[in-house]
Amino acid sequence: MKIVMLGAPGAGKGTQAQMIADKYNIPHISTGDIFRFNIKNGTALGKEAKSYMDEGKLVPDELTVRMLLDRVSDEDCRDGYILDGFPRTIPQAYALTGELGKTGDKIDFAIDVDVPDENIVRRMGGRRACQSCGSTYHVEYAKPRQEGVCDRCGGKLVLRDDDKPETVSRRLEVYHEQTQPLIDYYKKANVLHSVDGTCDINVVFADIVKILEG
């Protein structure tokens, strides 16, 4: 069971990916984690990636795919895996499909967690993070016991720059331009399934399970 998670920033795909990973005992893999692992451990791939990053350049898709394939070749991926945050663009999707195809492999499901932009702006704009311990809250869905104060450590809760409406709107513009075409790509490959991401997370998860278990 090889799954790609799709959806705009703030749609909740990371949460769903982790719930799927826990239920089916398969790895939840993000490109960020792969980059950090390879760079921290000084692997050949990590050193190559770091050379681009040190020059302020984007890591080429081909190298990112190589790191990804190296990760999914591990024993814990034998029964499948969930990719979260990759591919982000059509060229990355082509590169991934091509490399997997060399070993007769392919993506089985592309799950699109669909949430309207206005919901995402409201959802992310309501997030609050503790300046001290990093705990997160929401002004509507996960309120602290005392407004503006972290339940865990008593630290001050703030709206992060990444969650400000203007920043979220810019991120959504980039998503629609670069990443949303992946929905059409995987639709043509007959592996795309969409779920209503505005529902309760447990309802969304139940819908995804129905898809995976067909």
**Complete DSSP assignment for the chain:** -EEEEE--TTSSHHHHHHHHHHHHT--EEEHHHHHHHHHHTT-HHHHHHHHHHHTTPPPPHHHHHHHHHHHHTSGGGTT-EEEES---SHHHHHHHHHHHHTTT----EEEEEE--HHHHHHHHHTEEEETTT--EEETTTB--SBTTB-TTT-PBEE--GGGSHHHHHHHHHHIIIIITHHHHHHHHTT-EEEEETTS-HHHHHHHHHHHHH-
127 counts as catalytic: yes
Active-site residue identified among 50, 164, 171, 187: 171
Q: Which residues of 166-180 are buried (b: 16+ CB within 10 A; e: fewer)?
A: ebbeebbeebeeebe
160 counts as catalytic: yes
Six token digits for residue 204: 């969304």
Active-site residue identified among 66, 88, 122, 164: 88
Among residues 90, 137, 124, 93, the alpha carbon closest in space to that of 9 is found at 124
145 counts as catalytic: no
170 counts as catalytic: no
Active-site residue identified among 47, 143, 152, 160: 160
71 counts as catalytic: no
Active-site residue identified among 13, 71, 123, 128: 13
Dihedral pair phi/psi, residue 81, rounded to 5°: -165, 165
Active-site residue identified among 71, 123, 127, 128: 127
Active site residues: 13, 88, 127, 160, 171
